[in-house]
Amino acid sequence: MESPAAISINNLVKRYAPAGNAPAKLALNDVSFDVPQGQIFGLLGPNGAGKSTLINILAGLVMKTSGTAEIWGFDIDKDIRNAKRSIGIVPQEIVFDPFFTPFEVLENQAGLYGVPKAARKSLELLGQVHLADKAQAYARTLSGGMKRRLLIAKALVHTPPVIVLDEPTAGVDVELRRQLWELVSELNAGGVTVVLTTHYLEEAEQLCDRIAIINHGQLIANKPTRELVEMAREKVVVVTLDGDPDTLPMHPAFLKSEKTGERTIEITYDKDRSNAGEVLAAVQAQGLGIIDVTTREADLEDVFVHLTSAAKEPA
Ligand code: ADP
Ligand code: MG
């Protein structure tokens, strides 16, 4: 049996009312999925897909139109207090009072959550996000990366079993992205269930145990990362020939065969129906001499493009 859900979302709908020039918007269209306990779960989707809307409903910042959500078994309508205590949310935007120190930021947040003084662990948390030496610095003197790490510590003051990060690495440089990935992995290794939203496929593929894809407010996939990547059906073999081919090799299992250079051809095939050996045999059967061969692996991007190109935006 699967472990119980850290978060369970059922038939969630959010329709934003029209305001000013903005028309009404169906931001979430009957979304249901579970986040298993103990995982790093990625909510992946292009900008405007509805990711932040979903996170903000869990955070109590946006009112859902209909549907239900449970956090650690607590319904967000019926058991608001326990639901809130079970989750830590790291918003995308960085907002701090510049005159508080990281230590004070965490103490204030602990106060908001009613964590008794003796149970607070601000210094320990600062250590966990590698900011121990900045405990008494002003928040305004921290670098962007340090501020992001402080936000993560802030979301952890009440020791929630689940932490949600909304686009933790949007617009950050490669170095900081790697730092944040490490931190997320460390937290998860320590037993925290992590949900993160991202529009970076590579990030989801590298970091997440499971990925749900959302597009135009609809859930279009929800699978273990490996299975999702496995869904990529197409593979490509790039062949360099010893001469200019007169005719392109064809075979029933080829989806496409095209000339990409004077002596190179690219053959796309369905990996369930053929393999690289068969492809090369078909090339040689046409009397073409092979000088070099490379294959291109399918990745999450192939699946993503395939799935999202099929989905239509709702009216
Ligand atoms: P994502 O986080 O995936 O980029 P959002 O949840 O922010 O997507 O937005 C989903 C859709 O809802 C977008 O089309 C966005 O313009 C719209 N939207 C977001 N917030 C509001 C709002 N407060 N009022 C009206 N429309 C909104
Ligand atoms: Mg967003």
Residue 102 has pLDDT above 90, yes or no: yes
Token pair of 88, please? 């830590």
- When pLDDT is cut at 50, 70 and 90, the band that residue 310 belongs to is low
Same domain, 244 and 205: no
Mean pLDDT confidence for 299-315: 69
In this structure, the chain runs to a length of 315
Same domain, 176 and 283: no
Q: Range of 46's domain?
A: 7-86+160-229
Residue 190's CATH number? 3.40.50.300
Judge contact between 155 and 192, C-beta under 8 A. Answer: no
List pLDDT tens digits, range 238-262. 999 998 888 888 888 888 888 999 9
CB atoms within 10 A of CB 163: 20
The CB of 53 under 6 Å from ligand 1? The reply is yes
Residue 118 belongs to some domain of the structure: no
Amino acid at site 136? Q
Mean pLDDT confidence for 29-41: 97
Amino acid at site 184? V
Residue 292's CATH number? 3.30.70
- Pairing mode, strands 40-44 and 25-36: unpaired
Judge contact between 114 and 161, C-beta under 8 A. Answer: no
256 versus 36: the higher-pLDDT residue is: 36
- The pLDDT of residue 94 is 82
Amino acid at site 292? D
Same domain, 171 and 253: no
- The pLDDT of residue 314 is 55
Residue 255 belongs to some domain of the structure: yes
Which CA distances in Å does 259 have to 49, 191, 243, 249, 277?
Answer: 37, 51, 12, 10, 19
The DSSP symbol for 124 reads H
- The pLDDT of residue 297 is 66
Same domain, 225 and 238: no
Same domain, 222 and 270: no
Q: Which of 41-50, 82-91, 211-220, 276-285 has the lowest mean pLDDT?
A: 276-285
Which CA distances in Å does 58 have to 69, 97, 213?
Answer: 7, 24, 18
The CB of 91 under 6 Å from ligand 1? The reply is no
Concatenating the DSSP letter of every residue in 49-118 gives SSHHHHHHHHTTSS--SEEEEEETTEETTTTHHHHHHTEEEE-SS----TTS-HHHHHHHHHHHTT--GG
The Cα 66–Cα 214 span in angstroms is: 18
Residue 152 belongs to some domain of the structure: no
Same domain, 222 and 197: yes
- When pLDDT is cut at 50, 70 and 90, the band that residue 2 belongs to is low
- What phi, psi does 234 have (nearest 5°)? -90, 140
| This prediction's pTM | 0.81
Residue 97 has pLDDT above 70, yes or no: yes
265 versus 98: the higher-pLDDT residue is: 265
- When pLDDT is cut at 50, 70 and 90, the band that residue 298 belongs to is low
Residue 1 has pLDDT above 60, yes or no: no
Classified as helix, coil or strand, 290 is strand
- When pLDDT is cut at 50, 70 and 90, the band that residue 73 belongs to is very high
Q: In Å, how far from its chain's centre is CA 236?
A: 26
List pLDDT tens digits, range 149-201. 999 999 999 999 999 999 998 888 888 899 899 999 999 999 999 999 998 88
Same domain, 292 and 175: no
The CB of 118 under 6 Å from ligand 1? The reply is no
Distance from residue 253's CA to the centre of ligand 1 (Å): 43
Q: Residue 39 class from Cβ within 10 Å (0-12 exposed, 13-18 middle, 19+ buried)?
A: middle
The Cα 277–Cα 254 span in angstroms is: 13
Backbone angle region of 130, left / alpha / beta, with phi > 0 → left and psi within -120 to 50 → alpha: left
Residue 311 belongs to some domain of the structure: no
The DSSP symbol for 19 reads B
Q: Which residue of 26, 51, 53 sits with most ligand 1 atoms within 8 Å of its CB, as the best mutation to test the pocket?
A: 53
Distance from residue 53's CA to the centre of ligand 1 (Å): 6
Partners of 7 in the beta sheet?
Answer: 35, 71
Same domain, 209 and 183: yes
Same domain, 247 and 196: no
Distance from residue 126's CA to the centre of ligand 2 (Å): 26
Same domain, 20 and 79: yes
- The pLDDT of residue 24 is 92
Residue 177 belongs to some domain of the structure: yes
Which residue is closest in CA terms to ligand 1's atom 27?
Answer: 16
Same domain, 172 and 77: yes
Q: How many domains does the chain have?
A: 2
Residue 145 belongs to some domain of the structure: no
Mean pLDDT for the chain overall: 90
The CB of 101 under 6 Å from ligand 1? The reply is no
Partners of 10 in the beta sheet?
Answer: 68
Which residue is closest in CA terms to ligand 1's atom 21?
Answer: 16
Same domain, 184 and 282: no
Helices vs strands, H then E, count in the chain:
10, 14
Residue 15 belongs to some domain of the structure: yes
Residue 110 belongs to some domain of the structure: no
- Please identify, among 207, 229, 251, the residue that sits at the C-terminal boundary of a domain: 229
- The pLDDT of residue 313 is 59
